Amino acid sequence: MRKNNIQSANSNGYRIIAVDDEMGIVDSLSIFLKRSGYDFTGVSDPMEAVERVRNEHFDLMILDFIMTPIHGDQVVEEIRKFNKELYILLLTGHKDLAPPLETIRKLDIQGYCEKSDKFDQLLLLIESGIKSIAQMNEIKRMNQELSDTYEKLEKAYLDSIETLRYTVEAKDPYTKGHSDRVSAYSVLIGQKLGLSEDDIKTLRVGGLFHDIGKIGIPDSILLKEAKLTDDEYSEIKNHPSIGAHILCNAEVFKDIIPIVKHHHERYDGKGYPGRLKSDDIPYLARIATIADTFDAMTSKRTYRDAMPIDFVKEEIARCAGTQFDPELAKVFLDILENHYDEIEKIMKNSQMQK
């Protein structure tokens, strides 16, 4: 069998490969399609065609069905193993010899027509195919632009996070280690619950920023080592609402606002700022509540030592259904009982970062 690998210098940008073991058909297509401005490659060996497609870029393939040593549907089957996008038109000598419609659909063959001395019908199919290819390319280009834009937004989002983090840490040095641990504990609970990646991300960032509202609390109260007065404690209780207000105008932070605003709500409705109860409290905020309380109890403060872990477990169990969502408390107690090494790892990492 012979082959012809002629390519047009006057190309409209789309590359077409034709495969037919009748060299006369390949030559006729070459003349016809080059006149139409296409970059044309003609191949008479179907096995070579598979390799050409594997190693070169083509936009469209015109493929004979009855060939040796393999038929056109077998050629497509091989190509689809590594190339799902190539637009393929099948040529048949007789309509009765065309492959079944089920095969055409299965192999994602975009169209077929009978061979003829005139190529008018084939040209219409090619032009239609090129339009589809152009639309596909435009969609791919737009998707790439959207992907690039998303990456830039993601970077800006992360940069904003770091800026805000530094602001809070400068005001209250304790916040850094605490917020990092609350974030990590929240993620750990979310993972044990099998939450989605989006929810895990929200827990991670929400944990980092749950105390962002402390920026608005006077230093005389925030850094006070002695016991707070009732008025001072009331002032501290404003930090969830302040934090939600700080973040409310930034679209990138909308998902974490429920955590920031409601991580001090109680399951029995006696928390703040909204006195929300049970399922009215956002689910991810209920997770952050447990993580926040656990870290507060297990952290050493200027006015007390860290509480023993056995006492902390008893407190979490005692407050299930009052302060905490009982199901979430059960999950966290299971972590403390059976996966405490993961808790210790978080604590150790926090110590190393100080």
Active site members: 214
What does the alpha-carbon distance between residue 12 and residue 126 come to, in Å, rounded to a whole number?
13
Closest CA to 288 of 187, 174, 215, 176: 187
Closest CA to 239 of 157, 299, 179: 179
Residue 41 token pair:
């490659």
What does the alpha-carbon distance between residue 59 and residue 87 come to, in Å, rounded to a whole number?
6
Cβ(201)–Cβ(151) under 8 Å? no
Helices (H) and strands (E) in the chain, counts: 15, 5
Cβ(263)–Cβ(285) under 8 Å? yes
Cβ(62)–Cβ(17) under 8 Å? yes
Residues for the chain: how many in total? 354
